[in-house]
Amino acid sequence: MARTFALFHFACIVGLVFSNGEYRERETVSVTASNGMPWPMPQQYSSTSDTFTINRNAFKFRATGQSCDILSSAFFRYQTIIFGFREEVLKFHPKFKAGSLTELDVNVKNKCDQYPYLGMDESYNLTISSSGATLNSNSVWGALRGIETFSQLVLQRSKDMFTVNGTTIVDYPRFQHRGLLLDTSRHFLDVSIIKQNLLAMSQSKFNVFHWHIVDDQSFPYTSNNFPDMATMGAYDSKHIYTQDQIAEIIEFARILGIRVIPEFDSPGHSQSWGKSIKDLLTKCYSSGKPNGQYGPIDPSLETSYGFLSKFFAEIAKVFPDHYVHLGGDEVNFDCWKSNPNITAFMKQKDFGTDYAKLEEYYMQRLLEIVSGVKKGYMIWQEVVDNGAKISKETIVEIYKNEAYMYHVFLTTLKGYRTVLQACWYLDLIKYGVQWPAFYSCDPHDFFGTAEQKKLVIGGETCMWGEYVDNTNVLSRTWPRASVVAERLWSAQNVKDANAAAPRLEEHRCRMIKRGFPAEAVNGPGYCFQEYSIHEPV
């Protein structure tokens, strides 16, 4: 099967079947990958038929503006990413051989930031022409994004020779918050796997790692102030993250321009917390006495807030991002209702029988504590759904499947910054070509004012851990997560799944070349270079 492509033309699409604008699966037709196309699609992108050659031994990145460790680290990393992997050699029939390229000048205007942050400038422009190859950006973060794009345009032709076409790109993300959630409580994930995932994220321009680090089932976070939380709450002594490992992950993410937002979910989803912190969780009662079961954190005891203060003071120091995720989802009221002390507390507080008010009370106390340690916070939607009045600084994450765009409308109407997750549950696997559904979900797909639309700051795709661990997290996450990455980075009108399919196919094969087990998402097909566990990453 010959794979011939027009290298220089936008529409390098061959062999795709579609009808009525919908992506229809034809299992005898495979999607043919594009060649040298970027993912996600830049805001403005054009290329010419001028082909520049690059000799791997005679190419370097050059910082012509600001520089720093993040930039040097990227130069080193991409030298390997672009030139270091064995790849099928593509036949080389350039229309216009336009000379050779020996460097990419990276011109960062502003002094490097140390840590990535919400709202950082990720814009860049990239020009490859006979005048040379130049990447301009305001910040180091834009440079990172641009270098990744550059790496996607370069194709290998022979052992030492690569080519790239004349290109003009002006690029910036549509949304500021582009995240991926991993869950290390339902199943532990090795540090090396988390780092591989961060690397994959950077290659799709994700900029937030939402680390759902603890939950009911296990507590792998080793707290300095409360060491027993891991000793007694982790699955076992090997299934933990030491402070050093956490710092290692945060640093690895920083170098990639990825924020690490930890989630310590409460008052629910906290069974594992109670194994070591006496009286933290609500004792459930049956027939007038404790029945041995525990519920959410007990909101009626000052000791709970004392613990939370001390705990979050530590978290605030360990995790440098301004935001922490405080959870607040799926709080089951049954145990609270059964407990007489809480009944008394409800009376004392004049909450009547409205336990949503008790939940609101807890969340407000928690948010005050976290504000007190100078952090901003993200929470799941229930807290505002249940009517709690919380600081307008809060970022609300919409995760429930029911009427999620309506909830985006409601939370933005109430003035909260909003992050959408509901339509991007990667863990909810099913048979077939599933990704177009992820691609077609748009965070602005609701009737609202321009102000409201502005309050939607982005989205997250999630890989919950009930059925996912070291054995399958990477193949299950990639390349499907990349589909969400494009939805969050690229322009709203880049939404034709049929047009995207060949680029996604190329992106998958590129990920495989770079050592990631990105699975097949378009039906039957192949990559020049298939995944092998014996390849060095």
CB atoms within 10 A of CB 437: 14
**Could you tell me how many residues make up the chain?**
537
With contact defined as beta carbons under 8 Å apart, do 232 and 221 qualify?
no
Given candidates 374, 431, 450, 493, which one binds a second copy under the rule CB under 8 A? 431
Nearer to a second copy, 213 or 488 (CB): 213
Residues 3-42, mask of contacts with a second copy (x by CB under 8 A): x-----------------------xx-x------------
As measured in angstroms, the least distance from the Cβ of 165 to a second copy is 24
The site that binds a second copy (CB under 8 A) totals a number of residues, namely: 50
Nearer to a second copy, 11 or 533 (CB): 533
Counting contacts by CB under 8 A, is residue 533 touching a second copy? yes
As measured in angstroms, the least distance from the Cβ of 481 to a second copy is 14
Counting contacts by CB under 8 A, is residue 483 touching a second copy? no
Q: Which residue has the tokens 């229809």?
A: 24
As measured in angstroms, the least distance from the Cβ of 92 to a second copy is 17
- 330 included as an active-site residue: yes
- Pairing of β 161-171 and β 132-137: unpaired
Greatest alpha-carbon pair distance for the chain in Å reads 85
Given candidates 476, 494, 498, 499, which one binds a second copy under the rule CB under 8 A? 476
As measured in angstroms, the least distance from the Cβ of 515 to a second copy is 10
With contact defined as beta carbons under 8 Å apart, do 482 and 474 qualify?
no
As measured in angstroms, the least distance from the Cβ of 185 to a second copy is 8
Both structure tokens of 330: 């799926």
Counting contacts by CB under 8 A, is residue 500 touching a second copy? no
As measured in angstroms, the least distance from the Cβ of 304 to a second copy is 25
As measured in angstroms, the least distance from the Cβ of 519 to a second copy is 5
Tell me which residue of 376, 455, 367, 441 sits closest to 408, measured CA to CA: 455
Q: Which of 25, 88, 330, 451 is catalytic?
A: 330
Contacts with 350 (C-beta within 8 Å, 6 or more apart), sequence order: none
Counting contacts by CB under 8 A, is residue 185 touching a second copy? yes
Both structure tokens of 286: 């049956």
The rounded distance, in Å, linking the Cα atoms of 227 and 117 is 30
Counting contacts by CB under 8 A, is residue 357 touching a second copy? no
Q: What is the DSSP letter of 171?
A: E
Among residue numbers 295 through 334, which ones bind a second copy (CB under 8 A)?
A: none
Span near a second copy by CB under 8 A; candidates 99-107, 156-164, 315-323, 513-521: 513-521
Nearer to a second copy, 383 or 521 (CB): 521
Among residue numbers 65 through 94, which ones bind a second copy (CB under 8 A)?
A: 88
Counting contacts by CB under 8 A, is residue 96 touching a second copy? no
Q: Is 457 helix (H, G, I), strand (E, B) or coil?
A: strand
As measured in angstroms, the least distance from the Cβ of 26 to a second copy is 11
Query: In sequence order, what DSSP letters do the residues of 37-73 get, joined into one string?
Result: --SSPPSEEEEEEEEEEEEGGG-EEEE-S---HHHHH
Given candidates 187, 210, 325, 510, which one binds a second copy under the rule CB under 8 A? 187
Given candidates 429, 449, 451, 491, which one binds a second copy under the rule CB under 8 A? 429
Span near a second copy by CB under 8 A; candidates 10-18, 157-165, 340-348, 470-478: 470-478
Among residue numbers 371 through 410, which ones bind a second copy (CB under 8 A)?
A: none
Element (H, E) at 383: helix 382-385
Counting contacts by CB under 8 A, is residue 244 touching a second copy? no
The rounded distance, in Å, linking the Cα atoms of 134 and 119 is 24
3-state secondary structure 325-378: ECCCCCCCCHHHHHCHHHHHHHHHCCCCCCHHHHHHHHHHHHHHHHHHCCCEEE
Contacts with 354 (C-beta within 8 Å, 6 or more apart), sequence order: none
CB atoms within 10 A of CB 457: 17
Nearer to a second copy, 218 or 411 (CB): 218
Nearer to a second copy, 70 or 474 (CB): 474
Nearer to a second copy, 61 or 264 (CB): 264
The rounded distance, in Å, linking the Cα atoms of 185 and 211 is 10
* The dihedral formed by the CA atoms of 114, 118, 121 and 122, expressed in degrees to the nearest 10: 90
Both structure tokens of 459: 């989205």
First vs last Cα of the chain: how many Å apart?
Answer: 29
The catalytic site residues sit at 330
Using CB under 8 A, list all residues that contact a second copy.
1, 3, 27-28, 30, 88, 185-188, 190, 192, 217-218, 235-236, 238-239, 427-432, 465-472, 475-476, 512, 517-521, 523-526, 528, 530-534
